[in-house]
A and B are shown apart, each in its own frame.
Chain A
Amino acid sequence: MNLTDLARVHDDDLGGDPAGQASGAGARALLDSIMSEPPGRGGRRWTGRLRGPVPWLAVAASLAAVTALVATAATTPDGQVTHPTSTSALPTAEPSAQRILLAAASAVLKAPTSGAYWRTSTISGRDAISPDRGYVIRRRFSKEEWLARRPGAQSWWVTRYLGAKPLTDEDEAAWRKAGAPTRWKYPMNMTGYEGVNSGEVVRAAAEEKVGSRLRGKWKNSGGSLTKELVTWDEISRIPSGEQELRAYLEQRITDRANGRWGNDPQWREAALQGGCMEIVFGLPVSPAVRASAYRILAGLPGMKSLGRVTDPLGRTGEAIGYQVDADSARQNVYDVIHVIDPETGLPLASWSATTVELVGGRSAKVTSFTAYQEMGWTDAKPSLPARRE
Chain B
Amino acid sequence: MGSDPHGRFVQIYEHAYRPILGYVLRRCEDPDDAADVVAETFATAWRRIDEVPPGDEARLWLYGVARRALANHRRGERRHEQRTAALREQLNASNALTGPSAAEYTQLGRAFRSLSDDDRELLSLVAWEQLDTKQVARTLGITRNAVRVRLHRARRRFARALADAGIDIPLFERTAL
Which residues of A pack against B, CB within 8 Å? 1-11, 13-31, 33-35, 37, 39-42, 44-48, 92-93, 95-96, 99, 102-103, 106-107, 316, 342-344
Asked if B89 contacts A9 (CB within 8 A), the reply is no
Residues on B with C-beta less than 8 A from A17 are 90, 94-96
Query: Could you say which of A26, A41, A92 has the most chain B C-beta atoms within 10 Å of its C-beta?
Result: A26
Query: Does B101 make an interface contact (CB < 8 A)?
Result: yes
Which residues of B pack against A, CB within 8 Å? 5-6, 9-10, 13-14, 17-19, 21-22, 25-26, 35, 38-39, 42-44, 46-51, 53, 61, 65, 68-69, 71-72, 75-77, 79, 81-91, 93-97, 101-103, 106, 108-109, 112, 123-124, 127-128, 141-142, 172, 175-177
Asked if B22 contacts A10 (CB within 8 A), the reply is yes
Asked if A8 contacts B103 (CB within 8 A), the reply is yes
Nearest CB on A from B126, distance (A): 8
CA distance A8 to B82 in the complex (A): 26
Residues on B with C-beta less than 8 A from A11 are 18-19, 22
Asked if B102 contacts A31 (CB within 8 A), the reply is no
Q: Which of B10, B18, B82, B108 contacts A14 (CB 8 A)?
A: B18
Q: Which of B51, B61, B75, B127 contacts A106 (CB 8 A)?
A: B75
CA distance A39 to B44 in the complex (A): 10
Asked if B61 contacts A3 (CB within 8 A), the reply is no
Asked if A106 contacts B96 (CB within 8 A), the reply is no
Q: A15-B18, A29-B83, A40-B46 in contact; A9/B25 too (CB < 8 A)?
A: yes
CA distance A216 to B95 in the complex (A): 68
Asked if B90 contacts A18 (CB within 8 A), the reply is yes
Closest to A96 in B: B77
Given contact pairs A3-B123, A31-B10, A34-B43, a sample of 8 additional A-B residue pairs in the complex whose CB atoms are under 8 Å apart: A14-B25, A18-B90, A26-B35, A35-B10, A39-B5, A39-B9, A102-B75, A107-B68
Asked if A20 contacts B96 (CB within 8 A), the reply is yes
Nearest CB on A from B88, distance (A): 7
Residues on A with C-beta less than 8 A from B90 are 17-19, 24-26
Q: A22-B14, A30-B39 in contact; A316/B47 too (CB < 8 A)?
A: yes
Q: List 14 A-B contacts (CB under 8 A).
A: A4-B127, A4-B176, A7-B124, A8-B103, A15-B18, A19-B87, A20-B21, A26-B84, A26-B89, A30-B84, A44-B48, A106-B72, A316-B47, A343-B65
CA distance A47 to B26 in the complex (A): 26
CA distance A92 to B79 in the complex (A): 8
Closest 6 CB pairs of A and B: A26-B87, A42-B50, A40-B47, A2-B176, A8-B101, A33-B83
Residues on A with C-beta less than 8 A from B89 are 26
CA distance A14 to B175 in the complex (A): 24
Asked if A41 contacts B50 (CB within 8 A), the reply is yes
Residues on A with C-beta less than 8 A from B10 are 31, 35
